[in-house]
């Protein structure tokens, strides 16, 4: 399966660096890292990540939900996975996102989520199961059932 291109939207620098290492260790590419909505808006339009890992509470008092809305309007095929310590703050429809990984998480779960997304994007539905910590949005759960 082809490697995926990821966007990391996280305002905690150490966590962003850890996520970058996990993505690269799994053989994927980090296309960009941002800490706020403003930084995401400044990205080139041709970046087109396959997956965005997005925190809910970001720098400059910006919201991951607003980031998700922006990403989906610019790159409609990008899968948005919220990575947050506050998953209950997401609306029932995940604000257009595809899933949530609650913080704190373990490295193994991130690898399994990347495999799940990679398989599902290449040939839906994926054959592997996501870790129990990953919660698919209702839309993704229905599409990949």
pLDDT tens-digit profile of 15-59?
999 999 999 999 999 999 999 999 999 999 999 999 999 999 999
Interhelix angle 13-25/107-122, nearest 10 degrees: 50
**Which of the 8 DSSP states describes residue 63?**
B
Q: Closest by alpha carbon to 144, among 114, 109, 116, 113?
A: 116
**Alpha-carbon span 118 to 125, nearest angstrom:** 10
Domain ranges of the chain: 5-143
The Cα 95–Cα 107 span in angstroms is 26
Question: pLDDT digit string (tens) for 100-139?
Answer: 999 999 999 999 999 999 999 999 999 999 999 999 999 9
Q: Give the β-pairing of 99-102 and 135-136.
A: antiparallel
- Give the architecture-level CATH label for domain 5-143: 3-Layer(aba) Sandwich (3.40)
Confidence (pTM)? 0.96
């Amino acid at each position: 399966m082809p490697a995926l291109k990821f966007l990391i939207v996280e305002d905690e620098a150490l966590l962003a660096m850890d996520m970058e290492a996990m993505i690269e260790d799994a053989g994927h590419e980090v296309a960009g890292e941002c800490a706020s909505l403003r930084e995401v808006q400044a990205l080139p339009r041709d970046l087109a990540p396959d997956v965005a890992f997005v925190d809910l509470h970001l720098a400059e008092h910006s919201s991951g939900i607003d980031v998700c809305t922006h990403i989906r309007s610019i790159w409609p095929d990008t899968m948005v996975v919220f990575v947050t310590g506050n998953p209950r703050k997401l609306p029932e429809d995940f604000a257009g996102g595809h899933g949530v990984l609650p913080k704190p998480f373990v490295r193994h779960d991130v690898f399994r989520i990347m495999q799940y997304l990679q398989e599902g994007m290449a040939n839906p539905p994926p054959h592997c199961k996501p870790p129990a910590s990953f919660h698919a949005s209702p839309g993704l759960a229905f599409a990949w059932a």
